[in-house]
Structure 1
Protein backbone atom coordinates (compact mmCIF):
# COMPACT_ATOMS: atom_id res chain seq x y z
CA UNK A 1 0.00 0.00 0.00
CA UNK A 2 1.21 3.49 -0.80
CA UNK A 3 1.48 6.22 1.82
CA UNK A 4 -0.98 9.11 1.77
CA UNK A 5 2.05 11.34 1.15
CA UNK A 6 2.92 9.26 -1.93
CA UNK A 7 -0.64 9.55 -3.25
CA UNK A 8 -0.56 13.30 -2.66
CA UNK A 9 2.74 13.57 -4.51
CA UNK A 10 1.38 11.60 -7.47
CA UNK A 11 -1.63 13.92 -7.67
CA UNK A 12 0.61 17.00 -7.64
CA UNK A 13 2.92 15.64 -10.35
CA UNK A 14 2.25 16.48 -13.98
CA UNK A 15 2.18 13.00 -15.53
CA UNK A 16 3.65 14.10 -18.86
CA UNK A 17 6.12 16.78 -17.79
CA UNK A 18 7.08 15.24 -14.47
CA UNK A 19 7.03 18.63 -12.76
CA UNK A 20 5.36 19.43 -9.45
CA UNK A 21 2.54 21.80 -8.62
CA UNK A 22 2.55 23.61 -5.27
CA UNK A 23 6.33 23.22 -5.12
CA UNK A 24 6.90 26.21 -2.83
CA UNK A 25 5.01 24.67 0.06
CA UNK A 26 5.35 21.02 -0.92
CA UNK A 27 7.53 20.05 2.08
CA UNK A 28 4.86 21.34 4.47
CA UNK A 29 2.15 19.43 2.59
CA UNK A 30 4.13 16.18 2.63
CA UNK A 31 4.96 16.62 6.31
CA UNK A 32 1.26 17.12 6.99
CA UNK A 33 0.44 13.97 5.05
CA UNK A 34 2.91 11.93 7.10
CA UNK A 35 1.50 13.29 10.35
CA UNK A 36 -2.05 12.48 9.23
CA UNK A 37 -1.01 8.94 8.30
CA UNK A 38 0.50 8.44 11.76
CA UNK A 39 -2.75 9.67 13.30
CA UNK A 40 -4.82 7.27 11.20
CA UNK A 41 -2.55 4.47 12.41
CA UNK A 42 -3.13 5.51 16.03
CA UNK A 43 0.55 6.32 16.45
CA UNK A 44 0.20 9.99 17.49
CA UNK A 45 -2.27 12.27 19.19
CA UNK A 46 -2.76 15.98 19.67
CA UNK A 47 -2.98 17.11 23.28
CA UNK A 48 -5.61 19.56 24.41
CA UNK A 49 -4.46 23.19 24.56
CA UNK A 50 -3.78 24.18 28.16
CA UNK A 51 -4.17 27.90 27.69
CA UNK A 52 -5.15 30.56 25.18
CA UNK A 53 -1.57 31.46 24.33
CA UNK A 54 -0.30 27.89 24.23
CA UNK A 55 -0.11 25.75 21.12
CA UNK A 56 -1.55 22.24 21.11
CA UNK A 57 1.28 19.70 21.16
CA UNK A 58 1.59 16.44 19.25
CA UNK A 59 3.00 13.38 20.97
CA UNK A 60 3.73 9.81 19.95
CA UNK A 61 1.48 7.10 21.37
CA UNK A 62 2.90 4.05 19.59
CA UNK A 63 5.94 2.22 20.88
CA UNK A 64 6.38 -0.10 17.90
CA UNK A 65 7.66 1.67 14.78
CA UNK A 66 5.65 1.28 11.55
CA UNK A 67 7.00 -1.09 8.92
CA UNK A 68 7.37 1.65 6.34
CA UNK A 69 10.80 3.28 6.88
CA UNK A 70 9.57 6.80 6.09
CA UNK A 71 6.72 6.49 8.59
CA UNK A 72 9.08 4.97 11.13
CA UNK A 73 11.44 7.93 10.73
CA UNK A 74 8.51 10.34 11.05
CA UNK A 75 7.32 8.67 14.24
CA UNK A 76 10.84 8.81 15.67
CA UNK A 77 10.87 12.57 15.07
CA UNK A 78 7.50 12.96 16.81
CA UNK A 79 8.73 10.84 19.73
CA UNK A 80 11.80 13.03 20.34
CA UNK A 81 9.70 15.51 22.32
CA UNK A 82 6.29 17.18 22.21
CA UNK A 83 6.12 19.76 19.45
CA UNK A 84 3.40 21.78 17.78
CA UNK A 85 1.90 20.46 14.55
CA UNK A 86 3.22 23.52 12.73
CA UNK A 87 6.75 22.69 13.88
CA UNK A 88 6.34 19.01 13.07
CA UNK A 89 5.00 19.31 9.54
CA UNK A 90 8.03 21.36 8.66
CA UNK A 91 10.40 18.87 10.25
CA UNK A 92 8.69 15.82 8.80
CA UNK A 93 8.51 17.31 5.32
CA UNK A 94 12.12 18.49 5.13
CA UNK A 95 13.90 16.51 2.41
CA UNK A 96 11.22 13.80 2.27
CA UNK A 97 10.15 14.57 -1.31
CA UNK A 98 13.18 12.83 -2.80
CA UNK A 99 12.65 9.76 -0.60
CA UNK A 100 8.99 9.56 -1.63
CA UNK A 101 9.84 9.97 -5.31
CA UNK A 102 12.48 7.24 -5.02
CA UNK A 103 9.86 4.97 -3.46
CA UNK A 104 7.42 5.70 -6.30
CA UNK A 105 10.18 4.99 -8.82
CA UNK A 106 10.92 1.64 -7.17
CA UNK A 107 7.22 0.83 -7.49
CA UNK A 108 7.41 1.56 -11.21
CA UNK A 109 5.00 4.51 -11.08
CA UNK A 110 7.37 7.31 -12.10
CA UNK A 111 10.82 7.55 -13.61
CA UNK A 112 13.56 10.09 -12.95
CA UNK A 113 14.51 12.06 -16.04
CA UNK A 114 17.60 14.25 -15.82
CA UNK A 115 18.35 17.03 -18.27
CA UNK A 116 19.52 20.64 -18.38
CA UNK A 117 17.45 23.77 -18.74
CA UNK A 118 18.87 25.89 -21.58
CA UNK A 119 21.65 23.33 -21.72
CA UNK A 120 23.13 24.77 -18.51
CA UNK A 121 21.07 24.17 -15.38
CA UNK A 122 20.60 20.56 -14.24
CA UNK A 123 17.10 19.46 -13.29
CA UNK A 124 15.27 16.24 -12.56
CA UNK A 125 11.67 15.59 -13.54
CA UNK A 126 9.50 12.59 -12.69
CA UNK A 127 7.09 11.73 -15.52
CA UNK A 128 4.59 8.93 -14.99
CA UNK A 129 5.42 5.42 -16.15
CA UNK A 130 2.41 3.51 -14.84
CA UNK A 131 -0.58 5.59 -13.75
CA UNK A 132 -2.79 2.65 -12.76
CA UNK A 133 -2.64 3.43 -9.04
CA UNK A 134 -2.97 7.19 -9.51
CA UNK A 135 -6.00 6.65 -11.73
CA UNK A 136 -7.61 4.55 -8.99
CA UNK A 137 -6.94 7.29 -6.43
CA UNK A 138 -8.48 9.90 -8.73
CA UNK A 139 -11.53 7.70 -9.27
CA UNK A 140 -12.03 7.41 -5.51
CA UNK A 141 -11.68 11.19 -5.15
CA UNK A 142 -14.08 11.82 -8.02
CA UNK A 143 -16.64 9.45 -6.51
CA UNK A 144 -16.41 11.33 -3.21
CA UNK A 145 -16.22 14.90 -4.50
CA UNK A 146 -18.46 14.71 -7.57
CA UNK A 147 -20.69 11.64 -7.32
CA UNK A 148 -21.47 11.96 -3.61
CA UNK A 149 -20.10 8.55 -2.64
CA UNK A 150 -19.08 7.92 0.96
CA UNK A 151 -15.25 7.73 1.00
CA UNK A 152 -13.06 5.65 3.27
CA UNK A 153 -10.92 7.35 5.91
CA UNK A 154 -7.77 7.48 3.76
CA UNK A 155 -9.64 9.16 0.92
CA UNK A 156 -11.20 11.64 3.34
CA UNK A 157 -7.77 12.43 4.75
CA UNK A 158 -6.46 13.01 1.23
CA UNK A 159 -9.45 15.27 0.51
CA UNK A 160 -8.65 17.26 3.67
CA UNK A 161 -5.05 17.72 2.56
CA UNK A 162 -6.04 18.74 -0.97
CA UNK A 163 -8.61 21.13 0.48
CA UNK A 164 -5.94 22.76 2.66
CA UNK A 165 -3.80 23.20 -0.46
CA UNK A 166 -6.72 24.65 -2.41
CA UNK A 167 -6.34 21.92 -5.03
CA UNK A 168 -9.29 19.59 -4.52
CA UNK A 169 -11.19 21.10 -7.45
CA UNK A 170 -8.10 20.82 -9.67
CA UNK A 171 -7.61 17.14 -8.98
CA UNK A 172 -10.87 15.72 -10.37
CA UNK A 173 -13.03 16.19 -13.46
CA UNK A 174 -16.02 18.26 -12.37
CA UNK A 175 -18.57 16.45 -14.57
CA UNK A 176 -21.03 19.35 -14.58
CA UNK A 177 -20.19 20.71 -11.13
CA UNK A 178 -18.59 24.10 -10.69
CA UNK A 179 -15.19 24.50 -9.06
CA UNK A 180 -16.91 26.17 -6.11
CA UNK A 181 -19.24 23.22 -5.63
CA UNK A 182 -16.31 20.81 -5.59
CA UNK A 183 -14.48 22.99 -3.07
CA UNK A 184 -17.54 23.12 -0.82
CA UNK A 185 -17.94 19.34 -1.04
CA UNK A 186 -14.25 18.90 -0.16
CA UNK A 187 -14.58 21.14 2.89
CA UNK A 188 -17.73 19.32 4.02
CA UNK A 189 -15.97 15.96 3.76
CA UNK A 190 -12.89 17.25 5.56
CA UNK A 191 -14.93 18.81 8.39
CA UNK A 192 -17.49 16.02 8.76
CA UNK A 193 -17.86 13.73 11.76
CA UNK A 194 -16.01 10.77 10.30
CA UNK A 195 -12.94 10.00 12.36
CA UNK A 196 -11.87 9.45 15.94
CA UNK A 197 -11.05 12.64 17.84
CA UNK A 198 -7.32 11.95 17.79
CA UNK A 199 -7.38 11.63 14.00
CA UNK A 200 -9.52 14.73 13.47
CA UNK A 201 -7.34 16.74 15.84
CA UNK A 202 -4.18 15.71 13.96
CA UNK A 203 -5.75 16.45 10.57
CA UNK A 204 -7.02 19.84 11.77
CA UNK A 205 -3.62 20.72 13.21
CA UNK A 206 -1.78 19.54 10.08
CA UNK A 207 -4.04 21.35 7.61
CA UNK A 208 -3.95 24.52 9.72
CA UNK A 209 -0.15 24.42 9.64
CA UNK A 210 -0.24 23.89 5.87
CA UNK A 211 -2.62 26.82 5.40
CA UNK A 212 -0.35 29.03 7.52
CA UNK A 213 2.65 28.07 5.39
CA UNK A 214 0.75 28.79 2.17
CA UNK A 215 -0.42 32.16 3.47
CA UNK A 216 3.10 33.06 4.58
CA UNK A 217 4.42 32.09 1.16
CA UNK A 218 1.84 34.33 -0.50
CA UNK A 219 2.79 37.29 1.70
CA UNK A 220 6.49 36.75 0.98
CA UNK A 221 5.84 36.57 -2.76
CA UNK A 222 3.78 39.76 -2.65
CA UNK A 223 6.47 41.55 -0.67
CA UNK A 224 9.17 40.59 -3.16
CA UNK A 225 7.15 41.64 -6.22
Structure 2
Protein backbone atom coordinates (compact mmCIF):
# COMPACT_ATOMS: atom_id res chain seq x y z
CA UNK A 1 0.00 0.00 0.00
CA UNK A 2 1.11 3.55 -0.63
CA UNK A 3 2.63 5.48 2.26
CA UNK A 4 2.12 8.89 0.70
CA UNK A 5 0.19 11.32 2.91
CA UNK A 6 -3.44 11.66 1.96
CA UNK A 7 -6.33 13.58 3.40
CA UNK A 8 -9.78 12.54 4.54
CA UNK A 9 -11.36 14.27 1.56
CA UNK A 10 -10.89 12.23 -1.65
CA UNK A 11 -8.93 13.83 -4.46
CA UNK A 12 -10.43 14.45 -7.88
CA UNK A 13 -8.33 11.63 -9.34
CA UNK A 14 -9.88 9.20 -6.84
CA UNK A 15 -13.38 10.43 -7.69
CA UNK A 16 -12.73 10.05 -11.41
CA UNK A 17 -11.28 6.55 -11.07
CA UNK A 18 -14.24 5.52 -8.90
CA UNK A 19 -16.68 6.78 -11.53
CA UNK A 20 -14.79 4.95 -14.27
CA UNK A 21 -15.00 1.72 -12.28
CA UNK A 22 -17.72 -0.49 -13.76
CA UNK A 23 -19.35 -2.57 -10.99
CA UNK A 24 -21.04 -5.02 -13.38
CA UNK A 25 -17.76 -6.17 -14.92
CA UNK A 26 -15.29 -5.21 -12.18
CA UNK A 27 -13.20 -3.30 -14.72
CA UNK A 28 -12.10 0.30 -15.27
CA UNK A 29 -13.59 2.00 -18.32
CA UNK A 30 -11.17 3.56 -20.78
CA UNK A 31 -8.05 1.72 -19.62
CA UNK A 32 -6.15 2.46 -22.84
CA UNK A 33 -6.41 6.24 -22.32
CA UNK A 34 -6.63 6.23 -18.54
CA UNK A 35 -3.39 7.91 -17.61
CA UNK A 36 -4.23 11.05 -19.58
CA UNK A 37 -7.52 11.68 -17.78
CA UNK A 38 -6.10 10.73 -14.38
CA UNK A 39 -3.24 13.16 -14.96
CA UNK A 40 -5.81 15.72 -16.01
CA UNK A 41 -7.70 15.16 -12.76
CA UNK A 42 -4.57 15.87 -10.72
CA UNK A 43 -3.85 19.06 -12.65
CA UNK A 44 -7.48 20.15 -12.36
CA UNK A 45 -7.39 19.49 -8.61
CA UNK A 46 -4.27 21.64 -8.30
CA UNK A 47 -6.00 24.40 -10.25
CA UNK A 48 -9.16 24.20 -8.11
CA UNK A 49 -7.01 24.48 -4.99
CA UNK A 50 -5.15 27.53 -6.35
CA UNK A 51 -1.89 25.55 -6.38
CA UNK A 52 -1.40 25.99 -10.13
CA UNK A 53 -0.98 28.86 -12.54
CA UNK A 54 -1.42 28.79 -16.30
CA UNK A 55 -0.38 32.36 -16.94
CA UNK A 56 2.96 31.59 -18.56
CA UNK A 57 1.96 31.48 -22.26
CA UNK A 58 -0.25 28.46 -21.79
CA UNK A 59 2.35 26.55 -19.78
CA UNK A 60 1.55 25.32 -16.31
CA UNK A 61 3.56 26.10 -13.24
CA UNK A 62 3.15 25.65 -9.50
CA UNK A 63 2.21 28.60 -7.34
CA UNK A 64 5.38 29.21 -5.27
CA UNK A 65 5.07 28.52 -1.56
CA UNK A 66 1.60 26.97 -1.85
CA UNK A 67 2.01 23.18 -2.10
CA UNK A 68 -0.94 20.82 -1.55
CA UNK A 69 -0.81 18.54 1.51
CA UNK A 70 -1.91 15.43 -0.42
CA UNK A 71 0.92 13.20 -1.60
CA UNK A 72 -0.37 12.48 -5.11
CA UNK A 73 -1.01 16.15 -5.75
CA UNK A 74 2.30 17.15 -4.17
CA UNK A 75 4.29 15.00 -6.62
CA UNK A 76 2.71 16.86 -9.53
CA UNK A 77 3.19 20.22 -7.80
CA UNK A 78 6.89 19.46 -7.24
CA UNK A 79 7.29 18.49 -10.89
CA UNK A 80 5.73 21.75 -12.08
CA UNK A 81 7.72 23.74 -9.52
CA UNK A 82 10.94 22.82 -11.32
CA UNK A 83 9.93 24.88 -14.35
CA UNK A 84 6.80 25.68 -16.39
CA UNK A 85 5.65 22.75 -18.52
CA UNK A 86 3.36 22.33 -21.49
CA UNK A 87 0.10 20.64 -20.54
CA UNK A 88 0.61 17.53 -22.66
CA UNK A 89 4.16 17.15 -21.33
CA UNK A 90 2.78 17.36 -17.80
CA UNK A 91 0.01 14.85 -18.53
CA UNK A 92 2.50 12.34 -19.96
CA UNK A 93 4.78 12.68 -16.93
CA UNK A 94 2.17 12.81 -14.17
CA UNK A 95 -0.47 10.38 -15.42
CA UNK A 96 1.15 6.93 -15.81
CA UNK A 97 1.86 6.15 -12.12
CA UNK A 98 -1.53 7.31 -10.78
CA UNK A 99 -3.80 4.29 -11.31
CA UNK A 100 -2.24 2.07 -8.63
CA UNK A 101 -2.10 4.57 -5.75
CA UNK A 102 -5.55 5.95 -6.53
CA UNK A 103 -7.05 2.44 -6.62
CA UNK A 104 -5.33 1.58 -3.33
CA UNK A 105 -6.97 4.59 -1.73
CA UNK A 106 -10.40 3.63 -3.02
CA UNK A 107 -9.94 0.15 -1.57
CA UNK A 108 -8.70 1.57 1.74
CA UNK A 109 -11.73 3.88 1.91
CA UNK A 110 -14.10 0.98 1.22
CA UNK A 111 -15.38 2.49 -2.04
CA UNK A 112 -14.09 -0.57 -3.94
CA UNK A 113 -13.63 -4.04 -2.47
CA UNK A 114 -11.20 -6.78 -3.48
CA UNK A 115 -12.55 -10.30 -3.81
CA UNK A 116 -10.20 -13.30 -4.05
CA UNK A 117 -11.11 -15.76 -6.80
CA UNK A 118 -9.72 -18.83 -8.53
CA UNK A 119 -9.37 -19.18 -12.28
CA UNK A 120 -9.97 -22.70 -13.62
CA UNK A 121 -10.03 -23.81 -9.99
CA UNK A 122 -6.24 -23.44 -9.80
CA UNK A 123 -4.92 -19.91 -10.13
CA UNK A 124 -5.64 -17.34 -7.47
CA UNK A 125 -6.60 -13.87 -8.64
CA UNK A 126 -8.34 -10.81 -7.26
CA UNK A 127 -11.55 -9.31 -8.60
CA UNK A 128 -12.83 -5.82 -7.89
CA UNK A 129 -16.38 -5.09 -6.83
CA UNK A 130 -18.21 -2.03 -5.60
CA UNK A 131 -17.84 -1.25 -1.90
CA UNK A 132 -20.62 -0.39 0.51
CA UNK A 133 -19.99 3.33 0.98
CA UNK A 134 -22.38 4.38 -1.79
CA UNK A 135 -19.97 7.11 -2.87
CA UNK A 136 -19.86 6.07 -6.52
CA UNK A 137 -23.64 6.35 -6.75
CA UNK A 138 -23.55 9.80 -5.18
CA UNK A 139 -20.85 11.01 -7.59
CA UNK A 140 -22.77 9.61 -10.54
CA UNK A 141 -25.95 11.34 -9.33
CA UNK A 142 -24.08 14.67 -9.12
CA UNK A 143 -22.80 14.29 -12.69
CA UNK A 144 -26.22 13.21 -13.93
CA UNK A 145 -27.85 16.29 -12.41
CA UNK A 146 -25.46 18.49 -14.38
CA UNK A 147 -25.56 16.64 -17.70
CA UNK A 148 -29.19 15.47 -17.77
CA UNK A 149 -31.17 17.75 -15.45
CA UNK A 150 -29.36 20.98 -16.31
CA UNK A 151 -28.32 21.81 -12.74
CA UNK A 152 -25.52 24.38 -12.58
CA UNK A 153 -22.60 22.54 -10.98
CA UNK A 154 -20.14 23.32 -8.26
CA UNK A 155 -16.67 23.76 -9.74
CA UNK A 156 -15.47 20.33 -8.61
CA UNK A 157 -18.45 18.53 -10.15
CA UNK A 158 -18.02 20.54 -13.35
CA UNK A 159 -14.39 19.47 -13.61
CA UNK A 160 -15.30 15.85 -12.86
CA UNK A 161 -18.00 15.80 -15.54
CA UNK A 162 -15.66 17.46 -18.04
CA UNK A 163 -12.93 14.90 -17.38
CA UNK A 164 -15.42 12.04 -17.65
CA UNK A 165 -16.47 13.44 -21.02
CA UNK A 166 -12.83 13.82 -22.05
CA UNK A 167 -12.21 10.14 -21.27
CA UNK A 168 -14.54 9.16 -24.11
CA UNK A 169 -16.40 6.72 -21.86
CA UNK A 170 -19.70 8.58 -21.39
CA UNK A 171 -21.56 6.26 -23.83
CA UNK A 172 -20.82 3.40 -21.40
CA UNK A 173 -22.89 5.19 -18.73
CA UNK A 174 -26.03 5.16 -20.88
CA UNK A 175 -28.11 3.36 -18.23
CA UNK A 176 -27.57 6.21 -15.76
CA UNK A 177 -26.74 9.11 -18.12
CA UNK A 178 -28.64 8.78 -21.42
CA UNK A 179 -26.36 9.36 -24.41
CA UNK A 180 -28.46 12.11 -26.01
CA UNK A 181 -27.69 15.24 -28.03
CA UNK A 182 -28.41 17.59 -25.07
CA UNK A 183 -26.07 15.54 -22.84
CA UNK A 184 -23.34 15.62 -25.47
CA UNK A 185 -23.73 19.38 -25.92
CA UNK A 186 -23.61 20.06 -22.18
CA UNK A 187 -20.56 17.84 -21.77
CA UNK A 188 -18.74 19.79 -24.49
CA UNK A 189 -19.66 23.08 -22.77
CA UNK A 190 -18.13 21.82 -19.55
CA UNK A 191 -14.98 20.76 -21.39
CA UNK A 192 -14.63 24.37 -22.60
CA UNK A 193 -15.00 25.79 -19.07
CA UNK A 194 -18.62 26.94 -19.43
CA UNK A 195 -19.65 25.94 -15.92
CA UNK A 196 -22.39 28.50 -15.19
CA UNK A 197 -22.67 31.23 -12.60
CA UNK A 198 -23.02 28.87 -9.64
CA UNK A 199 -19.64 27.20 -10.19
CA UNK A 200 -17.66 29.27 -7.73
CA UNK A 201 -14.29 29.23 -9.44
CA UNK A 202 -12.22 32.15 -10.63
CA UNK A 203 -11.67 32.67 -14.32
CA UNK A 204 -8.05 31.53 -14.15
CA UNK A 205 -9.11 28.23 -12.56
CA UNK A 206 -11.71 27.62 -15.25
CA UNK A 207 -9.19 28.49 -17.96
CA UNK A 208 -6.51 26.20 -16.57
CA UNK A 209 -8.99 23.33 -16.10
CA UNK A 210 -10.43 23.77 -19.59
CA UNK A 211 -6.89 23.81 -21.03
CA UNK A 212 -6.02 20.62 -19.14
CA UNK A 213 -9.20 18.85 -20.24
CA UNK A 214 -8.85 19.82 -23.89
CA UNK A 215 -5.17 18.86 -23.95
CA UNK A 216 -6.19 15.46 -22.58
CA UNK A 217 -8.78 15.14 -25.35
CA UNK A 218 -6.18 15.97 -28.02
CA UNK A 219 -3.79 13.41 -26.59
CA UNK A 220 -6.49 10.73 -26.28
CA UNK A 221 -7.73 11.33 -29.81
CA UNK A 222 -4.21 10.85 -31.16
CA UNK A 223 -3.82 7.44 -29.52
CA UNK A 224 -4.46 4.29 -31.54
CA UNK A 225 -7.69 2.56 -30.53
CA UNK A 226 -7.67 -1.12 -29.67
> How high is the TM-score relative to the length of structure 2?
0.83
Deviation of 1:126 (Å): 2.5
Contact 2:166 2:191 in 1 (8 A): no
SS in 1 for 2:129: coil
- What residue number does 1:52 align with? none
In the TM superposition, 1:21-170 aligns within 5 A as 21-49=29-57, 56-113=58-115, 124-170=126-172
CA deviations over 1:140-186 (Å, ceiling 9, x no partner): 111111111111000000111122123345436567x6522211122
- What residue number does 1:197 align with? 203
- What residue number does 1:14 align with? 22
> How high is the TM-score relative to the length of structure 1?
0.83
Contact 2:158 2:195 in 1 (8 A): no
Deviation of 1:209 (Å): 2.3
Supply the distance in 2 between the matched residues of 1:46 and 1:118 (Cα, whole angstroms): 52
Q: In angstroms, what is the RMSD of aligned CA positions?
A: 2.5
SS in 1 for 2:53: strand
Supply the distance in 2 between the matched residues of 1:146 and 1:74 (Cα, whole angstroms): 33
Q: How many residues align?
A: 213
Structure 2, unpaired ranges of 5+? 1-8
Name whichever structure is richer in helix by fraction: 1
Structure 1, unpaired ranges of 5+? 50-55
Supply the distance in 2 between the matched residues of 1:118 and 1:213 (Cα, whole angstroms): 39
